Amino acid sequence: MTLIKRIQAGEVPEVVKNIAKNELIELEILLERIADGRVVIPNNINHSISKFVGIGKGLTTKVNANIGTSEDYPFLEEELKKLEVSVEVGTDTVMDLSTGGNLDSIRREILKKSTVPIGTVPIYQAAVDAKFKLGSIVEMTKEHIFEVIRKQAKDGVDFMTIHCGVTRKALDALNKDGRIMDVVSRGGAFTIGWILHNNRENPLYEEFDELLNIAKEYDITLSLGDGMRPGCLADATDRAQIQELLTLGELVDRAREAGVQTMVEGPGHVPFDQIEMNIKLEKEICKGAPFYVLGPIVTDVAPGYDHITSAIGGTLAASAGADFLCYVTSREHLGLPTVGDVREGVVVSRIAAHAADIAKKIPGAKDWDLEMAKARRRLDWEEEIKLAIDPEKAREGYEERKKKGEDVCTMCGDFCALKVIDEYLGKTRQG
């Protein structure tokens, strides 16, 4: 049975008890939210992990890191290093988006090495296989798409992005409305190409029951992909995006009836003033399903800094109710990220997530900041570094310009505000 069905049958799984304890949420509330679909815990029955993750209402905002090969960089060892670094700096999940090299071997090795839930986008492999075996991605068959999904499920993939909402109706909306960037989702583009070439409906939509059967067998969490997400601010919140969302809302209902854990993916490039509306729209249409957002990126003009543009949007999105942030690296729009880009991307997204958790008043979120404030008040540099979201970066910044033999930094020196106030208020720093 799936986690939902087990809870509905009265079972209280140990993993749920542990998450309730770690998240400072009442066990009964968490059980209820998993049972009704507002919280998911991705974990395939064939994948052993040590870090279980709850995503959804009332829980801390989670962060995902994307890794994966490309045709130009099909190197497994580099992706395993990205996996290692992502986990080291605190990612909650990792997605393998590989499109180069032996995709089965790469995925299985990542699953074997990972201590956190792993996600994939199965249509990537189906498209790559079709290109090399049949000459074009649009020649992939419905049977092969589901064969890939089943194979990845059997391997132990914990959650899958499936572009079920890219339908002929959504494509009609895209054509009638018009866009500057058209479609920037790879999975969305592959699906649209297939629909047009074959003059048929999206098989992932038509055969959704088959998808649910696979998900039930392995207790996979479905992540309903946003193939129509906007790729620039000018395309945000248009009819194609909303039509897809309406379809995903219907599919969320069907997944819940089947006892399959489900979350919904969202935009994309979105103007700052439209983000909160987008979050509320998803929560209403999809009846509180966990919302997984890419960014959102709030300006199109910052290549090289899109980890920052996405963190700005991510903080607002999560504070408005988004549950899961997909990191964006500084190399977004420019090329495949390096190990360093991945490390930085995870940390920046974690900052956005934590800032949002404070705004959402998630239990315990402010405690970390309070401890940091106390350490700074004491000028306790070691404790401050220890509490930093990235201790390695904090130590590097401190040691490089450390004032030797002094407990102050080289920014203020003898003019340190805290030392001055101690002297004139007659205060002593607390140990």
Q: What digits encode the pLDDT tens for the residues 182-227? A: 999 999 999 999 999 999 999 999 999 999 999 999 999 999 999 9
| Boundary-marking domain end, from 304, 324, 359 | 359
- Give Cα separations from 25 to 28, 252, 283, 358, 372 (angstroms): 9, 25, 21, 16, 24
Residues 406 and 344 in one domain: no
Residues 385 and 277 in one domain: no
The pLDDT tens digits for 171-181 are 999 999 999 99
Q: Does 17 reside within a domain?
A: no
Please compute the mean of the pLDDT values over residues 62-89 and round it to a whole number. 98
CA distance 196 to 179: 18
The pLDDT tens digits for 374-416 are 999 999 999 999 999 999 999 999 998 887 766 778 888 888 8
Residues 311 and 407 in one domain: no
The pLDDT tens digits for 135-177 are 999 999 999 999 999 999 999 999 999 999 999 999 999 999 9
DSSP letters for 288-347 = T--EEEE--B--SS-TT-HHHHHHHHHHHHHHTT--EEE---TTTTTS---HHHHHHHHH
The reported pLDDT for the residue numbered 342 is: 98
pTM: 0.96
Q: What letter does residue 244 receive in the DSSP assignment?
A: H
- Give Cα separations from 138 to 114, 172, 181 (angstroms): 32, 19, 21
Burial class (CB in 10 A: 0-12, 13-18, 19+), 100: middle
Residues 329 and 400 in one domain: no
DSSP H helix total and E strand total for the chain: 19, 10
Of 159, 183, 160, 163, the residue nearest 173 (C-alpha): 183
The reported pLDDT for the residue numbered 430 is: 56
Q: Does 13 reside within a domain?
A: no
Residues 241 and 387 in one domain: no
Own/partner long-range contacts of 241-244 (Cβ < 8 Å, ≥24 apart): 241/267, 241/268, 242/173, 242/281, 243/167, 243/169, 243/170, 243/173, 244/165, 244/166, 244/167, 244/170
Please report, in angstroms and rounded to a whole number, the separation of the first and last CA atoms in the chain.
53
Residues 249 and 321 in one domain: yes
Q: Does 6 reside within a domain?
A: no
The reported pLDDT for the residue numbered 429 is: 56
Q: How confident is the model at residue 282 (pLDDT cuts 50, 70, 90)?
A: very high
The pLDDT tens digits for 348-360 are 999 999 999 999 9
Of 91, 92, 28, the residue nearest 54 (C-alpha): 92
Q: Indicate the residue type of 158.
A: D
Q: Does 20 reside within a domain?
A: no
Residue with tokens 């829980």: 59
For residue 261, give the CATH number of its domain. 3.20.20.540
Q: Number of folded domains in the chain?
A: 2
Q: Does 11 reside within a domain?
A: no
| Residue 261 · residue 40 · CB < 8 Å | yes
Angle, in degrees to the nearest 10, between helices 168-177 and 186-198: 100
Residues 62 and 203 in one domain: yes
Domain that holds residue 256: 42-359
pLDDT for residue 332 is more than 80: yes
Residue with tokens 């670094």: 85
Q: Does 341 reside within a domain?
A: yes
Q: Token pair of 414, please? A: 């003898």
CA distance 345 to 33: 30
The reported pLDDT for the residue numbered 118 is: 98
Strand partners, 402: 409
β-pairing verdict for 39-40 and 55-56:
antiparallel
Q: Does 420 reside within a domain?
A: yes
| Boundary-marking domain end, from 329, 359, 389 | 359
- Give Cα separations from 186 to 41, 166, 201, 231 (angstroms): 26, 12, 18, 11
Q: How confident is the model at residue 427 (pLDDT cuts 50, 70, 90)?
A: low
Residues 105 and 200 in one domain: yes
- In this structure, how many other beta carbons lie within 10 angstroms of the beta carbon of residue 299? 16
Average pLDDT of every residue of the chain: 96
Residues 325 and 415 in one domain: no
Q: What letter does residue 60 receive in the DSSP assignment?
A: P
pLDDT for residue 328 is more than 80: yes
β-pairing verdict for 221-224 and 262-266:
parallel
Q: Token pair of 96, please? A: 């393998």
pLDDT for residue 307 is more than 60: yes
Residues 330 and 418 in one domain: no
Residues 293 and 419 in one domain: no
The reported pLDDT for the residue numbered 428 is: 59
Q: Does 240 reside within a domain?
A: yes
Residues 197 and 314 in one domain: yes
| Boundary-marking domain end, from 359, 385, 417 | 359
